[in-house]
Amino acid sequence: MTATDPRVSAGSTLDRIHRPDDVRALPACALPGLAEEIRALLVETVSRTGGHLGPNLGVVELTIALHRVFHSPRDAILFDSGHQSYVHKILTGRRGDFPLLRQPGGLSGYPSRAESPHDLVENSHACTALSYADGLARAAALRGRSGGVVVAVVGDGALTGGMSWEALNTLAVGGRPVVIVLNDNGRSDAPTVGAVGAHLAQLREHGGDFRLSVFENLGLSYVGPVDGHDIGRLEEALGKARSMGRPVLVHCVTTKGRGHPPAEDDAVDRMHAVSPPGPGPAGPTWTSVFGDALLDLGARRPDIVCLTAAMQRATGLTAFAEAYPDRVLDVGIAEPHAVACAAGLAMGGMHPVVAMHATFLSRAFDQVLLDVALHGLPVTLVLDRAGVTGVDGPSHHGMWDLSLLQAVPGLRIAAPRDARRLRALLADAVAADGPTVLRFPDGATGPDVPAVRERDGLAVLHESTARDVLLVSVGPMAVTAVRAALKLADQGVGVTVCDPGWVSPPNPALVALADSHRLVVSVEDNTRVGGVGVRLAQAVADAGVTTPAHALGLPAAFLPPGPRPEVLRGHRLDASGIARTVLGLLGAGARPPVPPPRRVQPARRR
């Protein structure tokens, strides 16, 4: 929004807000105008930069009331999942930087400790705030601090997650001053499901006339339901909760997308998060190709059932759910339950497909390891947005899944290089009699990458007469690897580019191929630590092959937001960077040319 925009003129109320004290100093009559200006700023900025629009439009009045009743940062205000914190950023001195939301060098789309002392935690995964709140309140008591209050703003969708109830189990009986603000709009990334959503609906309908809420039965004081868009009533309810000096839940009923008709009327949550203007993906996306392929398989395989953790549309399951509604289960924001439930479904004779973003996999690692893999169950995990995901930043890069999953015995992992291979590998995965994983990135698939030849489960994408370097690509890094091979050819280096498709455990044919090259280099968009390349190097060494094997990947660091090509280029994972690294490794003493090597016979694959 420009300075000349009539909605935020030089004399506007928002123009006078530089810190929470300024919000508290406003007369009540100025607050509706402030809310209107904030909404205008949200719509203008987020429509341009992309980001979470619907959730923030719904908490404008609530956030204003929070900063009028509580004194941040002395009172710790925590926003569960963090995507509803834009208004908080505006009111805590970051309005001038807000036009750079989610831009390189600009504001994060989630709370950020580096930005402001008002952002205490960098939480962008749901269901964490209540645990933080319990710990903070206990720490204050143990250190003899008094006067401050811990406030946790939790969406109703987060109450479908088990971690929230684990926190409530101890928080409710702690007797410490914690205010839980339940932002109840009936949705998360999708409508709130299950018994929790039904109970909240009853509370909204009957209010104080309804029998004791589940929260009161746990030992929490309950205030509400309160109109979450009436600042006066919100201030009254929050003030009452603060004065109690014990754990209190304030039930605020809000409308997601409030004040912006396209977002308010968004029945399928397309306005939950919006993309910046532009042409969009050039061609089908990885997620849409997966959704179409799954739908085709579902028509032939009545045993295929799908599970999602409150992200049916975002993970490509919408078409399958419309065709087979009784074969899709939304468990809410509860990835551990999704995987353990899938184990039960597999024990019952079905083949479950659990679809989630790669960044959320770590929440269900225990269930993958001990509920699925230990039992050798035919469950397929589909991880989209794997690798570098762009502007959502460090918590949403899907760059740890390969490292985590390679520790799981009996688990096979596939990474398709293009749309055609995605369809084929998905079909292989759901035909397997044990646990499988299929991972792919965000965005468009791009053109298919043809193979020069295929043998023993390996696709050779580029081949030179001289066998200097075996370049092993993981998934969509195939295109980059082929481009790097062409650059190396210009330098007189012969390269074989190989795509294993099933990347873990290592295909024994890769080990045999390594023995006929001077150097093996793997390329993946996962962290190098524990990645596919490290496991391949171990397999090469274990087989007694003396060819040096070097793994290229992302560093063990929390990477800042940025477009995928830029992030990869910054870590020398573009074609030029790979070529430079390979030349450096050859110059540093890769194995010199030798007579034709002995052949390592590949083991028979299942």
Is 321 in contact with 312 (CB distance < 8 Å)?
Answer: yes
Burial class (CB within 10 angstroms; exposed 0-12, middle 13-18, buried 19+) of 448: exposed
| Fold classified for 6-264 | Rossmann fold (3.40.50)
User: Tokens standing for 27?
Assistant: 């007369």
Angle in degrees, 0-180, between the axes of helices 231-244 and 60-69, rounded to the nearest 10: 40
Token digits of residue 81 = 């999942």
Token digits of residue 588: 């540093």
Which residue in 89, 176, 256, 327 is the catalytic one? 256
Cα–Cα distance, 149 to 267 (Å, whole number):
36
Three-state DSSP class for residue 425: helix
- Angstrom distances, CA of residue 4 to CA of 7, 11, 13, 49: 9, 11, 15, 20
Whether 525 and 553 have beta carbons less than 8 Å apart is answered as yes
Is 83 annotated among the ligand-binding residues? yes
CA dihedral 57→62→68→72, nearest 10 degrees, is -80
Give the pLDDT score at 17.
92
* Size (the chain), residues: 606
What's the CA gap between 402 and 370, in Å, rounded?
17
3-class secondary-structure state, position 355: strand
**Going by CATH, does the domain composed of 286-439 fall within 2.60.40.10?**
no
**Tokens 């009957």 belong to which residue?**
206
The residue from 363, 423, 439, 518 that is catalytic is 363
Q: Was 239 annotated as part of a binding site?
A: no
- Span between the terminal Cα atoms of the chain, in Å: 59
- Distance (Å, whole) CA 249 – CA 255: 19
44 marked as part of a ligand binding site: no
Question: 374, exposed or middle or buried, with CB in 10 Å at 0-12, 13-18, 19+?
Answer: middle
Radius of gyration of the chain (CA): 26
Was 260 annotated as part of a binding site?
Answer: yes
Cα–Cα distances in Å, from 269 out to 263, 389, 466? 8, 20, 54
pLDDT digits (tens, 9 = 90+) for 129-143: 999 999 999 999 988
Active site residue 240: no
Mean pLDDT by 10 residues, the chain (606 residues): 41 89 94 94 88 89 96 93 88 90 84 90 84 92 86 90 91 90 77 78 72 83 92 95 94 84 61 66 90 97 96 94 96 94 96 96 96 97 92 82 96 98 98 97 93 94 94 97 97 96 96 95 96 96 96 92 89 96 85 47 40
Side-chain-side CA neighbours of residue 40 (13 Å): 17
Distance from the Cα of residue 454 to its chain's centroid: 34
Q: Which of these, 153, 157, 175, 183, lies nearest to 220 by C-alpha position?
A: 175
Q: What is the pLDDT of residues 86-134, one digit of tens each?
A: 999 999 999 888 888 888 788 888 888 889 999 998 877 888 899 999 9
Of the candidates 37, 61, 335, 524, the residue annotated as catalytic is 335
pLDDT of residue 191: 67
Q: How far apart are CA 438 and CA 429, in angstroms?
A: 8
Q: Is 206 exposed, middle or buried (0-12, 13-18, 19+ CB in 10 A)?
A: exposed
Tokens read off for 207: 């209010």
The closest alpha carbon to 213, from 246, 186, 248, 238, belongs to 248
Domain boundaries, the chain: 6-264, 286-439, 453-587
Cα separation, 119 vs 433, whole angstroms: 47
Helix (H), strand (E) at residue 237: helix 231-244
CATH topology classification for 453-587: Rossmann fold (3.40.50)
> Is 335 part of the annotated catalytic residue set?
yes
**Encoded amino acid at 108, one letter:** S
**C-alpha span between 520 and 532 (Å, rounded):** 13
Beta-carbon contacts of residue 25 (< 8 Å; ≥ 6 apart): none
Please report which helix (H) or strand (E) contains residue 381, including its range.
Answer: strand 380-384
Residue 125 assigned as binding residue: yes
Q: Is 462 annotated as a binding residue?
A: no
Q: Cβ neighbours of residue 530 under 8 Å, at least 6 residues apart? A: 402, 403, 404, 406, 407
Per-residue pLDDT, 402: 96
Q: Is 185 annotated as a binding residue?
A: yes
Give CA–CA dist 95/272, Å, rounded.
Answer: 21
Per CATH, 6-264 and 453-587 having the same topology is answered: yes
HSE of 218 in the Cβ direction (CA atoms, 13 Å)? Answer: 20
Residues 6+ away with beta carbon under 8 Å from 296: none
> Count of H helices and E strands in the chain?
22, 18
Q: Is residue 491 helix, strand or coil? A: coil
Q: Annotated binding residue at 124? A: yes
The dihedrals phi and psi of 264, each to the nearest 5 degrees, come to: -65, -35
- Full-prediction pTM beyond 0.85? yes
Positive or negative CA dihedral for 273, 276, 277, 280?
Answer: negative
d(CA 170, CA 220): 11
Question: Among this protein's residues, is 89 annotated catalytic?
Answer: no
Question: What b/e sequence results for 400-433 when a residue is b if at least 16 CB atoms lie within 10 Å of its CB, and e otherwise?
Answer: bbbbbbbebeebbbbbbbbbebbbebbebbbeee
- Token digits of residue 10: 């030089």
